Structure 1
Amino acid sequence: MSELLSKASFQGTVAMLLANPDREAGLEKQERDDLMLRFEGPEGDCHGGLTRKSDVRMIKQFKRGTEVRNARQLSILSEEELAEVAAKMGIQAVKPEWVGANIVTRGIPDLTLLPPSTRLQFPSGAMITIDIENLPCRYPADIIKSHNPDQKLGFVAAARNKRGVVGWVEAEGLIRSGDPITVWIPPQRIYAHG
């Protein structure tokens, strides 16, 4: 597949890195200077692991709790889209730590609309494969609301097509805040038999 990927005409930058080793502590994550990506996911983050238990997102395919491949090792959002969501909500900011981000990018246009199988490559050789859009849900909505009780629009409505993407580690390596991101786009076509 990788020989079919095309290098994007733009390059992004790592604006922020975050992790949280304790799932019980909640969705909020803490900023870090670097993040080691292993095949199991980002070191020191509770969403890592080669596998995970299926949840409500997969209820049509699997009984809840079925062990499945973890294609949600990382949550990737963009500074630009977070600012757009905050503006729609009528608040100053939607902070990445409130919405469970691991990587916040700068300079990748319409990050949330990147097609599945897009690759994000970093100077160390680390590479992430994008699985799918991360749909907005109530967990970050509750956190945002707790910080902004006077918001004008809810997160789920404001973040539609702006919530970022999830993915998994395809090649290991260290990523640092400020690193350039090379974007590799797969061939795009419409499947008309859905």
Structure 2
Amino acid sequence: MTDLLSPLENKTMPEIVPGRRISGSVAGLFDARHGHFGTQATDKLELSFEGILGDYHAGLTRKSGGREPWYPRGTQMRNERQISLVAPDELDAIAGGLDIVEVKPEWIGANMVVEGIPFFSMLPPRTLLFFEGGVTLKVDGQASPCKFSGKAVAGHAGATDVAAMSLEFVRVAKRLRGLVAWVEKPGTIMSGEKVEARIPEQWYYPG
């Protein structure tokens, strides 16, 4: 019988880092119910498989944009960006990089602030977020900072050169802008809930 592993005999397989669990908590909740990406504080989020009920980013599908250059702009596709999550220490780091007092989550359209999980924006795709009340979110990946969010930050911060700060935000907020996720198991999330991040096995593809 042919040995199925023989083609790999002389190859070095990548190191596999085991999965693990890290606990945190929900420090703030926000929704966008006014037809714009900017959010406002709320004490709970009602989630269906489409995302946050009534939210600007809700939907099973969405239209492609600049993040998906492989499709014509406006192509209907799966909505993997239903929920935007950020961490308070990373928002503080962005504010420091921009030399302003603060960056509030609602300025950049965040739906949730999660504290207690270090390097939050670096949680890998496929990480599952299990909430105390029963909701599960699946991380799609990092949220890429954009000029629209930068313009909102510059406006709220009273920048003298809005265009310049908008571009600087894109640079400073890279790898700190948080995560986007979609609803795997719907329900209600309450402010103050505990959340557990279950990080999958990780490896670098060597090809």
Whether 1:12 and 2:24 are equivalent positions in the alignment is yes
Code of the aligned partner of 1:30: Q
Shift of 1:86: 0.5
| 1:70-149 equivalences in 2 (<5 Å) | 70-148=79-157, 149=159
| C-alpha contact 1:117 1:131 (8 A) present in aligned 2 | yes
- The structure with the larger Rg is 2
| C-alpha contact 1:7 1:182 (8 A) present in aligned 2 | no
Corresponding residue for residue 59 of structure 2: 49
Separation in 1, partners of 2:54, 2:37:
14
Separation in 2, partners of 1:124, 1:50:
22
Cα deviations across residues 81-121 of structure 1 (Å, max 9, x unaligned)? Answer: 00111111111100001000001111111111100000111
5+ residue gaps, structure 1, are none
Worse overlay, 153-162 or 182-191: 153-162
Shift of 1:150: 5.1
Separation in 2, partners of 1:127, 1:32:
19
Shift of 1:7: 4.2
Separation in 2, partners of 1:11, 1:44:
29
Code of the aligned partner of 2:196: T
Cα deviations across residues 121-158 of structure 1 (Å, max 9, x unaligned)? Answer: 11121000000111110011001111221589621111
TM-score by length of 2: 0.85
Shift of 1:44: 2.5
Shift of 1:63: 1.6
- Tell me the C-alpha RMSD between the 2 structures: 1.6
Shift of 1:160: 1.0
Separation in 2, partners of 1:57, 1:38:
25
Code of the aligned partner of 2:106: E
Q: What SS does the corresponding residue of 2:80 show, helix, strand or coil?
A: coil
Whether 1:165 and 2:184 are equivalent positions in the alignment is no
Separation in 2, partners of 1:129, 1:44:
20
* Aligned positions, number: 185
| 1:173-184 equivalences in 2 (<5 Å) | 173-184=187-198
Runs of 4+ residues over 6 Å off in structure 1? none
Separation in 1, partners of 2:34, 2:61:
17
Code of the aligned partner of 1:92: V
| C-alpha contact 2:19 2:202 (8 A) present in aligned 1 | no
Whether 1:36 and 2:46 are equivalent positions in the alignment is yes
